[in-house]
Amino acid sequence: MIAAVIIFWFCVWAVAHSYVVYPLLLQLKIFVKGKREYSSFNTNDDLPTVSILMAAYNEELVIGQKIRSIFKTNYPLHKIELWVGSDNSTDSTNQIVQDLCGEFPEIQFVNFENRQGKILIINKLSERANGEILLFTDANVMFEDDTLFETLKYFKDEKVGLVDTHMKNYGLKKDGISIQEKSYISREVFVKHLESDAFGTMIGPFGGCYAVRKELFEKVPSNYLVDDFFVCMNVLSAGKAAINNINALVYEDVSNILSIEFARKIRIAAGDFQNLNYFKKLLWPPYRPLAFCFLSHKVMRWFGPFFLLGALISNSVLIQGSEFYKLLFLLQLIVTILPFIDFILKKFHLHIVFLRFITHFYTMNLSLLIGFIKSIKGVKSNVWKPTRRLQE
Protein backbone atom coordinates (compact mmCIF):
# COMPACT_ATOMS: atom_id res chain seq x y z
CA MET A 1 0.00 0.00 0.00
CA ILE A 2 2.87 2.36 0.76
CA ALA A 3 4.27 1.74 -2.73
CA ALA A 4 0.86 2.51 -4.26
CA VAL A 5 0.64 5.76 -2.29
CA ILE A 6 4.12 6.81 -3.48
CA ILE A 7 3.34 5.93 -7.10
CA PHE A 8 -0.01 7.74 -7.02
CA TRP A 9 1.27 10.99 -5.59
CA PHE A 10 4.41 10.93 -7.72
CA CYS A 11 2.25 10.62 -10.86
CA VAL A 12 -0.05 13.43 -9.69
CA TRP A 13 2.95 15.62 -8.90
CA ALA A 14 4.60 14.90 -12.27
CA VAL A 15 1.55 16.01 -14.26
CA ALA A 16 0.96 19.04 -12.03
CA HIS A 17 4.63 20.03 -12.16
CA SER A 18 4.87 20.11 -15.94
CA TYR A 19 1.60 21.95 -16.57
CA VAL A 20 1.23 24.19 -13.50
CA VAL A 21 4.17 24.29 -11.08
CA TYR A 22 6.98 24.67 -13.61
CA PRO A 23 5.64 27.92 -15.18
CA LEU A 24 5.10 29.32 -11.69
CA LEU A 25 8.71 28.50 -10.76
CA LEU A 26 9.93 30.30 -13.88
CA GLN A 27 7.87 33.35 -12.96
CA LEU A 28 9.25 33.24 -9.41
CA LYS A 29 12.82 33.08 -10.73
CA ILE A 30 12.23 36.11 -12.96
CA PHE A 31 10.57 38.00 -10.09
CA VAL A 32 13.49 37.34 -7.71
CA LYS A 33 16.47 37.53 -10.09
CA GLY A 34 15.08 39.63 -12.94
CA LYS A 35 14.89 38.59 -16.57
CA ARG A 36 17.86 38.07 -18.87
CA GLU A 37 18.57 40.95 -21.21
CA TYR A 38 19.88 40.67 -24.76
CA SER A 39 21.40 43.39 -26.93
CA SER A 40 19.54 44.04 -30.18
CA PHE A 41 19.86 45.81 -33.53
CA ASN A 42 18.13 49.08 -34.34
CA THR A 43 16.46 49.53 -37.71
CA ASN A 44 19.27 51.82 -38.90
CA ASP A 45 22.03 49.31 -38.03
CA ASP A 46 23.86 47.14 -40.54
CA LEU A 47 21.51 44.18 -40.24
CA PRO A 48 22.57 40.57 -40.88
CA THR A 49 21.82 38.80 -44.13
CA VAL A 50 19.12 36.16 -43.93
CA SER A 51 18.30 33.08 -45.97
CA ILE A 52 14.65 32.08 -45.61
CA LEU A 53 14.21 28.35 -46.22
CA MET A 54 10.83 26.82 -46.99
CA ALA A 55 9.93 23.29 -48.02
CA ALA A 56 6.60 23.00 -49.81
CA TYR A 57 4.42 20.12 -50.92
CA ASN A 58 1.08 20.90 -52.61
CA GLU A 59 0.66 24.31 -50.97
CA GLU A 60 -1.28 26.06 -53.75
CA LEU A 61 -3.87 27.39 -51.29
CA VAL A 62 -1.41 29.43 -49.27
CA ILE A 63 2.01 29.74 -50.87
CA GLY A 64 1.29 32.84 -52.96
CA GLN A 65 -0.03 34.73 -49.96
CA LYS A 66 2.90 33.49 -47.88
CA ILE A 67 5.56 34.72 -50.28
CA ARG A 68 3.90 38.12 -50.62
CA SER A 69 3.76 38.42 -46.82
CA ILE A 70 7.52 37.81 -46.67
CA PHE A 71 8.36 40.59 -49.11
CA LYS A 72 5.90 43.05 -47.64
CA THR A 73 8.58 43.83 -45.09
CA ASN A 74 10.53 46.73 -43.62
CA TYR A 75 13.69 44.58 -43.66
CA PRO A 76 16.20 45.56 -46.38
CA LEU A 77 15.43 43.43 -49.43
CA HIS A 78 19.09 43.23 -50.45
CA LYS A 79 19.71 41.39 -47.17
CA ILE A 80 17.10 38.70 -47.97
CA GLU A 81 17.09 35.57 -50.08
CA LEU A 82 14.19 33.12 -50.15
CA TRP A 83 14.85 29.48 -50.99
CA VAL A 84 11.71 27.50 -51.84
CA GLY A 85 12.10 23.75 -52.25
CA SER A 86 9.13 21.98 -53.81
CA ASP A 87 8.92 18.34 -52.75
CA ASN A 88 7.67 17.11 -56.12
CA SER A 89 4.41 19.02 -55.75
CA THR A 90 1.61 17.78 -57.99
CA ASP A 91 -0.71 20.80 -57.76
CA SER A 92 -0.04 24.36 -58.98
CA THR A 93 2.53 25.15 -56.24
CA ASN A 94 5.47 25.13 -58.67
CA GLN A 95 3.77 27.41 -61.18
CA ILE A 96 2.75 29.91 -58.50
CA VAL A 97 6.31 30.13 -57.17
CA GLN A 98 7.82 30.39 -60.65
CA ASP A 99 5.44 33.22 -61.54
CA LEU A 100 6.44 35.08 -58.38
CA CYS A 101 10.15 34.67 -59.21
CA GLY A 102 9.70 37.30 -61.90
CA GLU A 103 8.19 39.70 -59.39
CA PHE A 104 10.64 39.00 -56.58
CA PRO A 105 14.19 38.30 -57.81
CA GLU A 106 15.18 37.36 -54.25
CA ILE A 107 13.40 34.00 -54.72
CA GLN A 108 15.50 30.93 -55.47
CA PHE A 109 13.26 28.02 -56.52
CA VAL A 110 14.34 24.38 -56.48
CA ASN A 111 11.99 21.66 -57.73
CA PHE A 112 12.88 18.25 -56.30
CA GLU A 113 11.49 15.70 -58.75
CA ASN A 114 11.49 12.84 -56.23
CA ARG A 115 9.81 13.04 -52.84
CA GLN A 116 12.47 13.98 -50.30
CA GLY A 117 10.64 14.83 -47.10
CA LYS A 118 10.82 18.23 -45.44
CA ILE A 119 14.01 17.55 -43.51
CA LEU A 120 16.08 16.47 -46.50
CA ILE A 121 14.88 19.50 -48.46
CA ILE A 122 15.81 21.86 -45.63
CA ASN A 123 19.21 20.18 -45.28
CA LYS A 124 19.88 20.60 -49.00
CA LEU A 125 18.63 24.19 -49.13
CA SER A 126 20.86 25.07 -46.17
CA GLU A 127 23.90 24.06 -48.23
CA ARG A 128 23.00 26.66 -50.87
CA ALA A 129 22.03 29.43 -48.45
CA ASN A 130 24.31 32.46 -48.29
CA GLY A 131 22.84 34.29 -45.31
CA GLU A 132 24.43 34.72 -41.89
CA ILE A 133 21.08 33.70 -40.43
CA LEU A 134 18.86 30.83 -41.55
CA LEU A 135 15.14 31.38 -41.06
CA PHE A 136 12.92 28.31 -41.38
CA THR A 137 9.24 28.75 -42.10
CA ASP A 138 6.16 26.86 -43.28
CA ALA A 139 4.01 27.80 -46.24
CA ASN A 140 0.89 28.52 -44.18
CA VAL A 141 2.58 30.84 -41.66
CA MET A 142 2.05 34.49 -42.60
CA PHE A 143 4.35 37.40 -41.72
CA GLU A 144 3.75 40.97 -40.63
CA ASP A 145 5.77 43.90 -41.97
CA ASP A 146 8.22 43.78 -39.05
CA THR A 147 8.32 39.99 -38.51
CA LEU A 148 11.76 39.62 -40.06
CA PHE A 149 13.29 42.50 -38.14
CA GLU A 150 11.80 41.40 -34.81
CA THR A 151 12.96 37.82 -35.38
CA LEU A 152 16.50 38.80 -36.33
CA LYS A 153 17.25 41.82 -34.13
CA TYR A 154 18.53 39.83 -31.14
CA PHE A 155 21.26 38.19 -33.21
CA LYS A 156 23.32 41.28 -32.42
CA ASP A 157 23.94 39.52 -29.09
CA GLU A 158 26.63 36.87 -29.58
CA LYS A 159 25.06 34.80 -26.79
CA VAL A 160 21.93 34.27 -28.87
CA GLY A 161 21.93 31.31 -31.22
CA LEU A 162 18.24 30.84 -32.02
CA VAL A 163 15.15 33.05 -31.95
CA ASP A 164 11.55 31.84 -32.11
CA THR A 165 8.53 33.87 -33.19
CA HIS A 166 5.20 34.42 -31.49
CA MET A 167 2.64 32.22 -33.21
CA LYS A 168 -0.92 33.58 -33.27
CA ASN A 169 -3.88 31.68 -34.67
CA TYR A 170 -6.97 32.59 -36.63
CA GLY A 171 -10.00 30.68 -37.91
CA LEU A 172 -11.47 29.65 -34.54
CA LYS A 173 -14.63 27.55 -34.63
CA LYS A 174 -16.70 26.05 -31.84
CA ASP A 175 -17.52 22.81 -33.64
CA GLY A 176 -13.97 21.44 -33.57
CA ILE A 177 -10.81 21.77 -31.49
CA SER A 178 -9.52 25.09 -32.78
CA ILE A 179 -10.31 26.98 -29.54
CA GLN A 180 -8.56 24.32 -27.47
CA GLU A 181 -5.59 24.10 -29.83
CA LYS A 182 -5.20 27.89 -29.81
CA SER A 183 -5.28 27.89 -26.00
CA TYR A 184 -2.61 25.19 -25.89
CA ILE A 185 -0.38 27.05 -28.36
CA SER A 186 -0.84 30.34 -26.48
CA ARG A 187 0.14 28.62 -23.25
CA GLU A 188 3.21 27.16 -24.92
CA VAL A 189 4.22 30.60 -26.20
CA PHE A 190 3.87 31.90 -22.66
CA VAL A 191 6.07 29.15 -21.19
CA LYS A 192 8.70 29.49 -23.92
CA HIS A 193 8.87 33.22 -23.27
CA LEU A 194 9.33 32.59 -19.54
CA GLU A 195 12.18 30.18 -20.31
CA SER A 196 13.77 32.86 -22.49
CA ASP A 197 13.53 35.50 -19.78
CA ALA A 198 14.62 33.18 -16.96
CA PHE A 199 17.53 31.25 -18.47
CA GLY A 200 17.73 31.70 -22.25
CA THR A 201 16.86 28.01 -22.52
CA MET A 202 13.68 27.92 -24.58
CA ILE A 203 13.03 24.23 -25.12
CA GLY A 204 12.06 23.97 -28.75
CA PRO A 205 10.63 26.62 -31.10
CA PHE A 206 7.41 26.44 -33.05
CA GLY A 207 8.55 24.97 -36.34
CA GLY A 208 6.38 27.35 -38.34
CA CYS A 209 8.92 30.18 -38.13
CA TYR A 210 12.22 30.48 -36.28
CA ALA A 211 15.78 31.60 -37.03
CA VAL A 212 19.24 30.23 -36.19
CA ARG A 213 22.82 31.30 -36.82
CA LYS A 214 24.07 29.42 -39.86
CA GLU A 215 27.25 28.28 -38.13
CA LEU A 216 25.17 26.64 -35.39
CA PHE A 217 22.85 24.77 -37.74
CA GLU A 218 23.45 21.03 -37.82
CA LYS A 219 21.78 18.91 -40.45
CA VAL A 220 18.90 16.89 -39.09
CA PRO A 221 19.06 13.07 -39.44
CA SER A 222 17.02 12.04 -42.46
CA ASN A 223 14.54 9.86 -40.53
CA TYR A 224 13.79 12.43 -37.80
CA LEU A 225 10.25 13.77 -37.57
CA VAL A 226 10.70 16.94 -35.47
CA ASP A 227 13.49 18.98 -37.03
CA ASP A 228 12.96 22.27 -35.18
CA PHE A 229 13.50 20.64 -31.77
CA PHE A 230 16.70 18.95 -33.00
CA VAL A 231 18.06 22.26 -34.31
CA CYS A 232 17.19 24.08 -31.07
CA MET A 233 18.73 21.50 -28.74
CA ASN A 234 21.96 21.56 -30.71
CA VAL A 235 22.10 25.33 -30.24
CA LEU A 236 21.58 24.91 -26.48
CA SER A 237 24.18 22.11 -26.43
CA ALA A 238 26.67 24.58 -27.90
CA GLY A 239 26.10 26.90 -24.93
CA LYS A 240 24.15 29.52 -26.87
CA ALA A 241 20.80 30.98 -25.86
CA ALA A 242 17.54 29.99 -27.53
CA ILE A 243 14.89 32.63 -26.97
CA ASN A 244 11.36 33.63 -27.92
CA ASN A 245 10.59 37.17 -29.08
CA ILE A 246 7.00 37.89 -28.16
CA ASN A 247 6.96 40.82 -30.62
CA ALA A 248 7.90 38.73 -33.68
CA LEU A 249 4.36 37.95 -34.77
CA VAL A 250 3.36 35.31 -37.30
CA TYR A 251 -0.08 33.95 -38.11
CA GLU A 252 -1.29 30.43 -38.81
CA ASP A 253 -4.70 28.90 -39.44
CA VAL A 254 -5.30 26.70 -36.42
CA SER A 255 -6.25 23.02 -36.61
CA ASN A 256 -9.95 22.35 -36.10
CA ILE A 257 -10.52 18.72 -37.11
CA LEU A 258 -9.68 16.36 -34.26
CA SER A 259 -8.75 13.35 -36.41
CA ILE A 260 -6.29 15.38 -38.50
CA GLU A 261 -4.69 16.97 -35.45
CA PHE A 262 -4.54 13.60 -33.71
CA ALA A 263 -2.55 12.10 -36.60
CA ARG A 264 -0.24 15.11 -36.65
CA LYS A 265 0.38 14.87 -32.90
CA ILE A 266 1.22 11.17 -33.17
CA ARG A 267 3.86 12.03 -35.74
CA ILE A 268 5.23 14.82 -33.55
CA ALA A 269 5.22 12.55 -30.49
CA ALA A 270 7.24 9.88 -32.29
CA GLY A 271 9.73 12.61 -33.23
CA ASP A 272 9.82 13.86 -29.64
CA PHE A 273 10.98 10.47 -28.40
CA GLN A 274 13.57 10.30 -31.19
CA ASN A 275 14.96 13.58 -29.91
CA LEU A 276 14.81 12.44 -26.29
CA ASN A 277 16.99 9.45 -27.12
CA TYR A 278 19.46 11.72 -28.94
CA PHE A 279 19.61 14.49 -26.32
CA LYS A 280 19.13 12.49 -23.10
CA LYS A 281 22.66 13.44 -22.08
CA LEU A 282 21.43 17.00 -21.57
CA LEU A 283 19.30 15.86 -18.62
CA TRP A 284 22.45 15.47 -16.51
CA PRO A 285 23.50 17.04 -14.22
CA PRO A 286 19.88 17.81 -13.27
CA TYR A 287 20.61 21.05 -11.40
CA ARG A 288 21.59 22.91 -14.58
CA PRO A 289 18.93 25.28 -15.99
CA LEU A 290 18.97 23.45 -19.35
CA ALA A 291 18.37 20.06 -17.73
CA PHE A 292 15.68 21.46 -15.43
CA CYS A 293 13.79 23.11 -18.29
CA PHE A 294 14.16 20.11 -20.62
CA LEU A 295 12.88 17.71 -17.95
CA SER A 296 10.08 19.93 -16.67
CA HIS A 297 8.73 21.34 -19.91
CA LYS A 298 9.14 18.42 -22.28
CA VAL A 299 10.21 15.07 -20.84
CA MET A 300 7.68 14.96 -18.02
CA ARG A 301 4.95 16.07 -20.43
CA TRP A 302 5.94 13.46 -23.01
CA PHE A 303 5.55 10.77 -20.35
CA GLY A 304 2.21 12.24 -19.28
CA PRO A 305 0.14 9.25 -20.49
CA PHE A 306 2.20 6.92 -18.30
CA PHE A 307 1.68 9.20 -15.30
CA LEU A 308 -2.07 9.32 -15.95
CA LEU A 309 -2.25 5.53 -16.20
CA GLY A 310 -0.01 5.16 -13.16
CA ALA A 311 -2.26 7.43 -11.11
CA LEU A 312 -5.40 5.54 -12.15
CA ILE A 313 -3.96 2.06 -11.51
CA SER A 314 -2.33 2.92 -8.18
CA ASN A 315 -5.51 4.71 -7.10
CA SER A 316 -7.53 1.55 -7.81
CA VAL A 317 -5.32 -0.29 -5.31
CA LEU A 318 -5.80 2.40 -2.66
CA ILE A 319 -9.62 2.45 -2.63
CA GLN A 320 -9.73 -0.45 -0.17
CA GLY A 321 -11.11 1.04 3.05
CA SER A 322 -10.34 4.66 2.14
CA GLU A 323 -13.17 7.07 1.35
CA PHE A 324 -10.64 9.70 0.30
CA TYR A 325 -9.02 7.50 -2.36
CA LYS A 326 -12.46 6.21 -3.44
CA LEU A 327 -13.47 9.81 -4.16
CA LEU A 328 -10.25 10.49 -6.07
CA PHE A 329 -10.73 7.30 -8.09
CA LEU A 330 -14.31 8.29 -8.92
CA LEU A 331 -13.16 11.74 -10.04
CA GLN A 332 -10.52 10.18 -12.30
CA LEU A 333 -13.10 7.87 -13.85
CA ILE A 334 -15.51 10.74 -14.46
CA VAL A 335 -12.84 12.88 -16.12
CA THR A 336 -11.74 9.91 -18.26
CA ILE A 337 -15.32 9.35 -19.42
CA LEU A 338 -15.94 13.01 -20.33
CA PRO A 339 -14.28 12.78 -23.80
CA PHE A 340 -16.74 10.01 -24.71
CA ILE A 341 -19.64 12.20 -23.57
CA ASP A 342 -18.22 15.03 -25.65
CA PHE A 343 -18.03 12.71 -28.66
CA ILE A 344 -21.70 11.73 -28.29
CA LEU A 345 -22.82 15.33 -27.83
CA LYS A 346 -20.89 16.35 -30.92
CA LYS A 347 -22.99 13.88 -32.94
CA PHE A 348 -26.00 15.98 -31.95
CA HIS A 349 -24.15 19.22 -32.85
CA LEU A 350 -23.73 20.15 -29.19
CA HIS A 351 -20.33 21.70 -28.52
CA ILE A 352 -19.38 22.37 -24.91
CA VAL A 353 -16.05 24.19 -24.75
CA PHE A 354 -15.08 22.82 -21.33
CA LEU A 355 -15.67 19.21 -22.39
CA ARG A 356 -13.70 19.80 -25.57
CA PHE A 357 -10.72 20.92 -23.43
CA ILE A 358 -10.82 17.56 -21.63
CA THR A 359 -11.06 15.77 -24.98
CA HIS A 360 -8.10 17.75 -26.29
CA PHE A 361 -6.00 16.93 -23.23
CA TYR A 362 -6.67 13.18 -23.35
CA THR A 363 -6.28 13.04 -27.12
CA MET A 364 -2.89 14.73 -26.81
CA ASN A 365 -1.78 12.19 -24.21
CA LEU A 366 -3.09 9.28 -26.27
CA SER A 367 -1.09 10.57 -29.23
CA LEU A 368 2.00 10.67 -27.00
CA LEU A 369 1.45 7.04 -26.03
CA ILE A 370 1.05 5.94 -29.66
CA GLY A 371 4.01 8.07 -30.71
CA PHE A 372 6.14 6.42 -28.03
CA ILE A 373 5.25 2.98 -29.41
CA LYS A 374 6.03 4.12 -32.97
CA SER A 375 9.42 5.47 -31.89
CA ILE A 376 10.24 2.14 -30.22
CA LYS A 377 9.41 0.32 -33.46
CA GLY A 378 11.64 2.73 -35.37
CA VAL A 379 10.98 5.47 -37.92
CA LYS A 380 12.31 4.86 -41.42
CA SER A 381 10.94 7.81 -43.36
CA ASN A 382 10.02 11.43 -42.68
CA VAL A 383 8.22 12.06 -45.97
CA TRP A 384 5.16 14.04 -44.97
CA LYS A 385 1.80 15.16 -46.12
CA PRO A 386 1.09 18.67 -44.81
CA THR A 387 -1.85 19.25 -42.51
CA ARG A 388 -4.95 20.28 -44.43
CA ARG A 389 -4.89 24.06 -44.87
CA LEU A 390 -7.79 26.37 -44.05
CA GLN A 391 -9.78 23.69 -42.26
CA GLU A 392 -13.53 24.17 -42.11
Instruction: Provide CATH code, domain 50-258.
Output: 3.90.550.10
Q: Read off the pLDDT of residues 195-226 as tens digits, 9 standing for 90 and up.
A: 999 999 999 999 899 999 999 999 999 899 99
Question: What span, in angstroms and rounded, lies between the C-alpha atoms of 159 and 55?
Answer: 28
Model confidence at 390, pLDDT cuts 50, 70, 90, reads low
Please give the mean pLDDT across all residues of the chain.
94
Residue 391, pLDDT score: 54
Res. 156: pLDDT tops 80: yes
Q: Read off the pLDDT of residues 256-298 as tens digits, 9 standing for 90 and up.
A: 788 888 999 999 999 999 999 999 999 999 899 999 999 999 9
Res. 173: pLDDT tops 90: no
What stretch of H or E contains 370? helix 353-377
Q: Read off the pLDDT of residues 91-149 as tens digits, 9 standing for 90 and up.
A: 999 999 999 999 999 999 999 999 989 999 999 999 999 999 999 999 999 999 999 99
CB 188 within 8 A of CB 70: no
Residue 386, pLDDT score: 67
Question: What span, in angstroms and rounded, lies between the C-alpha atoms of 363 and 266?
Answer: 10
Residue 176, pLDDT score: 84
Question: What span, in angstroms and rounded, lies between the C-alpha atoms of 125 and 55?
Answer: 9
- Exposed/middle/buried for 192, CB within 10 Å: 0-12, 13-18, 19+? buried
Residue 370, pLDDT score: 97
Residue 83, pLDDT score: 98
**370 C-beta neighbours (distance < 10 Å), count:** 18
Q: Hey, where are the domains in the chain?
A: 50-258
Model confidence at 385, pLDDT cuts 50, 70, 90, reads low
Res. 163: pLDDT tops 70: yes
Torsion angle, alpha carbons of 152, 125, 208, 73, to 10: 50
